[in-house]
Amino acid sequence: MHIAILEDDPDQRALLELWVSSGQHTSRGFGMAAEFIEGAKKERFDLLLIDWMLPDGTGADVLQWVRQNLGWDIPVVVVTARDDEATVVSALKMGADDYVVKPPKPMELLARLENVARRIKPGGLPVLRLGSFEVDVTRHRLTLDGNAITLTQKEFDLSVYLFQNPGKLLSRDHLLNKIWGLNTEVDTRTVDTHISRLRKKLLLDGSKGWKLTPIYGYGYRFDRVDVASEP
């Protein structure tokens, strides 16, 4: 999973990020409610882990924003020092899927996160294994020869779409609509920029079994190749 962590204490935030990483998940940390909201607008997360007491607001404010703007499908777990019944009940009624009192226990916290995620999305999405590549959509993780590749959200979305559509002619407009959306304000040059980055990061020159080829005046084609036949 790719998890957003909202915790104003830097040491606590670093510790939560470490625990999440130990569970083979990725994360992005935020120290302020406003910073978190801006990040959630730009990046897709599989689960949200939020503190209740924040310098520029409350967990209640953030939770209300999440349910109004991101919907009810994304799981939210509250982690806070407040253990009074009124706060717990309030958080759960507002839409929190679970409530953990600080200091959390690492293994218990991971188990709660994974349990909530399973309950919201039973079974998760399958891991794609494609030669030297492995794509774990649920955990937002792509590896090449066992090594995790650092990708932005759009780079990851684009790579997943390419691996799911090998051998097809994909126009720039088609990719733009699929990855950025129909109402996007960016143009097709953005597609070219992201394609160029992916070609370099993932070695999509045929040397790793996959080749991303530009089609002049149209778009791209993504093909599996015989590595032995490549020069």
Q: Tell which CATH classification among 3.40.50.2300, 3.40.309.10, 3.30.750.24, 3.40.50.2030 matches the domain 2-120.
A: 3.40.50.2300
* pLDDT on residue 206: 92
Work out the average pLDDT over 202-208.
Answer: 94
Q: Which long-range contacts (CB under 8 A, 24 or more apart) does 209-218 make?
A: 209/130, 209/131, 209/132, 209/133, 210/130, 210/131, 210/133, 210/163, 210/166, 212/162, 215/169, 218/169, 218/171, 218/172
Residue 102: band (very low, low, confident or very high) from pLDDT cuts 50, 70, 90: confident
Write down the H helix ranges in the chain.
10-22, 33-42, 59-69, 85-94, 106-120, 153-164, 172-180, 188-201
pLDDT above 50: residue 147: yes
What is the CATH topology of the domain spanning 127-229?
Arc Repressor Mutant, subunit A (1.10.10)
pLDDT above 70: residue 125: no
Give me the phi and psi of 204, to 5 degrees please.
-85, 50
Domain ranges of the chain: 2-120, 127-229
